[in-house]
Structure 1
């Protein structure tokens, strides 16, 4: 003979739905197989309480049980509790969510505690453009961020001052509505967001006039961004708590400022080194000279050795980008390009022809000509 369901849960027939749920939770928590593995009596008590809760928590089944007793809600022969304790699919709609919530912190089928707990606000991203000079030597810039903050009028509750949100009667404050469907494999439980409260679990009858019940308002935050010297393209700076306001008392999100270094028309950067090209004249290349060269640190004098060839790279030590963590600077590499004179006068052409007649090919080339190299290779090949 089955025991009376009210007796199993230790409640009266006039007990409320919350009292029935609390009684079941207490018994389930004390007798769950994970708590008392191998204890057959505890397992039977758990099964008995689960069966009782399955009926008394469902208004239709409870009404039939109150009128007809066990005969009105007989589970046997319907794939119910006769199928063995391990078959959770048959009673997924009455209490397993509560069990998972008790044992796994709301991360299971119910999930209501996680949904109702504090939630951190969303993070924000801001792309800040910098010149090469700003990235190299650092700079402080003020940026403006439109962000959601807690409404000071209602304190984030969304209700007008002097009023409070009420628990949603449709979902009982959980924010979700559960529905069950009987199939040949047992009962299938599904949940959906409550359409009445939008998943919040509460109803605001008198919304705050300032935030229209949202609990948040938009405002512009001014943030001082400290760009460090030696900044690379794509570096991200994190500003904790400058993101969107959290939900239900949760902390604000973070702001990530992504630094984008613009390309420079003259300098090219690779790591902490700087590269550039400087044109020089044929005379400067042949006789040598000292010229002014732009650097990130200002113009400096650079010596061009006598007999400099085009595309020669001259290193200017320490004239590059400062290292972000200290320890000096990179270098600047100057590639000199020898330019060919154009629109010569007849006198200039005459002097160049004279220069050509008194200068050997090797002197003019500054090294062995290609034809000289070919002739040397042929001599070596034939011995």
Structure 2
């Protein structure tokens, strides 16, 4: 079971953005690979801290995590879903380390950096939208989408950047009243990759890249909601030289269902019955995400009655089972009557059996709403 992000950083759920950043910097510096060379436990803690910070420092992801826990990012992979790597950490959070480790946040010994401090550049992310039906949301689905992404052209070669000597960074020494200060910045010639274009095929652009269409499989877990974002690691654009690909970010959209309305993990269905069906009782076939289901209405059922079909709703993204299908019974009153029908109801007017006699078990509208949300 994955550790709680708040526990990893040693903070409470009420921590401010500044407190979250401070806690992460403390953990990152404590377990930084330059301070703990060859220590796999420190490396793992370094990655866990970065993953926790990536989620908790983002207001939207933090809100989803607080509501759904780790299940909010299941199927996403990469940041916000496990599988952290050093290239992601230093490309996104290197500025947090400041000058604590040579000025650039880099490190040596393993991961995406060489002994000389070369940083592997990460390609840009791609973003797409995927629209799901209610059935796909309820059961989970695997989607195959075509993505046009930049990849290194076949036959392209790169050579070491002479400006930074392959390190991806250039250092500058400045004399101050406090002494000589050394700072490191990303090389503006190679963009931090440490390499520049050597041979370029005819079908490649100025960076040695070309556009290629690829079919990508996306596993979408059951219970996702509109606005959620999944990540497919390594399926974004590639970058020149010794780089790592960006990610494919998948925004979830949902289609409206004809008869079912979603509310959290529960579904709602409006069932209309005639006066005679309400009086005599009947059985009805209604829509559910798994297909049609038949329900029985007892004689004398009242308009506004809510029937609960347990487990017929949406699967919880937290893995806590499924919600319910709530059937709202509405007795349909005809607006026009023929002579015979009108005479019948006139005879029944004032009849003791047709007078409203609500029982204690017949809940008011407000009580029904309260029960529905409890």
Asked if TM exceeds 0.5, the reply is yes
Q: Give the equivalent residue in structure 2 for 1:260.
A: 253
Q: Distance in 1 between matches of 2:283 and 2:188?
A: 80
Unaligned runs of 5+ in 2: 1-97, 106-113, 360-374
Give the counterpart of 2:162 among 161, 167, 175. Answer: 167
Looking at CA atoms only, which structure, 1 or 2, has the larger radius of gyration?
1
Question: Is 1:285–1:309's contact at 8 Å kept on the other side of the alignment?
Answer: yes
Q: Give the equivalent residue in structure 1 for 2:234.
A: 241
Q: Give the equivalent residue in structure 2 for 1:319.
A: 312
> How many residues are treated as equivalent by the alignment?
256
Q: Give the equivalent residue in structure 1 for 2:278.
A: 285
Structure with a larger share of its residues in helix? 1
Deviation track 1:61-88 (CA, whole Å, cap 9, x = no partner) reads xxxxxxxxxxxxxxxxxxxxxxxxxxxx
* SS of the residue 2:122 aligns to: coil
Give the counterpart of 2:296 among 277, 293, 303. Answer: 303
Correspondence 1:153 to 2:155: yes
Give the counterpart of 1:119 among 115, 118, 121. Answer: 121
Q: Distance in 1 between matches of 2:326 and 2:348?
A: 33
Give the counterpart of 1:276 among 250, 269, 277. Answer: 269
Question: Is 1:309–1:366's contact at 8 Å kept on the other side of the alignment?
Answer: no
Give the counterpart of 1:104 among 101, 105, 116. Answer: 101
Q: Give the equivalent residue in structure 1 for 2:139.
A: 137
1:117–1:195 distance in 2 versus 1, CA, 3 Å? closer
Give the counterpart of 2:356 among 365, 368, 372. Answer: 365
Shift of 1:352: 0.8
Shift of 1:344: 0.9
1:125–1:345 distance in 2 versus 1, CA, 3 Å? same
TM-score (norm 1): 0.54
Question: Is 1:307–1:366's contact at 8 Å kept on the other side of the alignment?
Answer: no
TM-score (norm 2): 0.55
Q: Distance in 2 between matches of 1:191 and 1:228?
A: 43
Question: Is 1:122–1:244's contact at 8 Å kept on the other side of the alignment?
Answer: yes
Q: Distance in 2 between matches of 1:173 and 1:319?
A: 59
Q: Distance in 2 between matches of 1:187 and 1:176?
A: 19
Deviation track 1:360-382 (CA, whole Å, cap 9, x = no partner) reads 3x7432439xxxxxxxxxxxxxx
Unaligned runs of 5+ in 1: 1-99, 158-163, 369-383
Runs of at least 4 residues off by over 4 Å: 113-116, 171-206, 324-328
Q: Give the equivalent residue in structure 2 for 1:85.
A: none
* SS of the residue 1:135 aligns to: helix
